[in-house]
Amino acid sequence: MKSISSFIYISVIIFFILLCAYFTTGFFIVQEGQTAVVLTFGKYSYSAISGFNWKWPYPIQNYEIVNISQLRTVEIGYRINIHNKRPEEALMLTDDENIIDIQFAVQYKLKNAADWMFNNIDQENMIRQVAETVIREIVGQNKMDYLLYAGREKVSLDVNKLMQNILNYYKSGVQVVNVTMQGIQPPEQVQAIFDDTIKAGQDCKRLKNEGQMYANDIILRAKSLAYRLIQESEAYKLRVIINAEGETSRFQQILNEYQKSPEITKDRMYLNTMQHIFSNTTKIMLNTHSENNIIYLPIDKLMEKDIYNIHKSNTIKSNKNLDFKNNFSSKINFEKLVNLQSK
């Protein structure tokens, strides 16, 4: 009887030890940045946060660790690198009926581990399909030039926003972090033609700028020349007026003197005129009372003086002609510049 009691006592102790060991298997640790999804008989029960946790031991409850801090990436139009293209995903139709080749990547995190596990069958493929659907819709609403240049950043933001709305609607447990456009270009078959078109547009813009610069330079030069001609004209006008006033004053003085004593004034004017004439001519003095009939004429001196006078006269005429040509040329150039500006 005593042996039976001891056996029962030992069995109870062993049972409790085994029971405690069984319950200790329910303890588990969740690392930082992870979430444990606890299942009761295969059905979702709750999510355990990071730290030391306990659940009912197997087979009552089980758990799966999900990394919610990991930044995940899915590619559309390529795999791993942009050279490994997927044309069936990359080629899309724009609003102006052009085909465009797009490669982009979607970076995302998990915000609800339970939704991620139970509301999606093939999670990564689901995200790729949503991203491809969204980008095709946005591309179909915009023209090719906008997508290639001004709209790249706007398209990324629109894809991010619309994808998040769809993923939230289906309770996917996904948070879209960033959408990066890896490449937007025309298809390879027409890339050369498209490059020529871009180059032609750049050349057109460059030539327009050069033409505008040339026109601005011509206008500036024309204004400068016009200002100079106006200043010269004003100076000439002032000089003519001063000379005319001087001549008028001199004539008035002579007239006053003539009215006072006409004969004296005429004699003085005559003497002044003759003095001016004889001062610029060669004079030969003859003795009318001499009986010598041989007259000495200094031909060499006369010729030298005549040559000097001719040269001096030609120089004065040449300077006048040069001034006339310069003024005439300036006037013609000014008229050309004015006509060009008016055109």
Q: Specify the DSSP class assigned to residue 112.
A: -
pLDDT of residue 332: 45
Task: Break the chain into its structural domains and give their ranges.
Answer: 23-66, 72-186, 192-281, 285-343
What's at 166, amino acid-wise?
Answer: I
pLDDT of residue 100: 87
Q: How far apart are CA 153 and CA 236, in angstroms?
A: 66
Q: How far apart are CA 130 and CA 111, in angstroms?
A: 17
Q: How far apart are CA 280 and CA 339, in angstroms?
A: 50
Q: How far apart are CA 251 and CA 245, in angstroms?
A: 10
**Residues 125 and 89: beta-carbon distance below 8 Å:** no
**Residue tagged 């029971």 (tokens):** 19
pTM flag (> 0.75): no
Q: Is the peptide bond before 59 cis (omega within 30 degrees of 0)?
A: yes
**Euclidean distance between the first and the last CA atom of the chain, given in angstroms as a whole number:** 132
- For residue 89, count other CB atoms closer than 10 A to its CB: 20
Residue 108, Cβ density class (10 Å: 0-12 exposed, 13-18 middle, ≥19 buried) = buried
Q: Which fold has domain 72-186?
A: Tetrahydropterin Synthase; Chain A (3.30.479)
**Per-residue pLDDT tens digits of the chain, which is 343 residues long:** 556 777 677 777 877 887 777 777 777 777 777 788 788 887 777 777 777 777 777 777 777 778 888 889 998 888 876 667 788 888 888 888 888 888 889 999 988 888 888 888 888 889 999 999 999 999 988 888 888 888 888 888 999 999 999 999 988 889 999 998 888 888 777 667 777 777 787 888 888 999 999 999 999 999 999 999 999 999 999 999 999 988 888 888 888 888 888 888 888 888 888 887 777 666 666 666 666 555 555 555 556 655 656 655 565 555 545 454 444 444 444 444 444 444 4
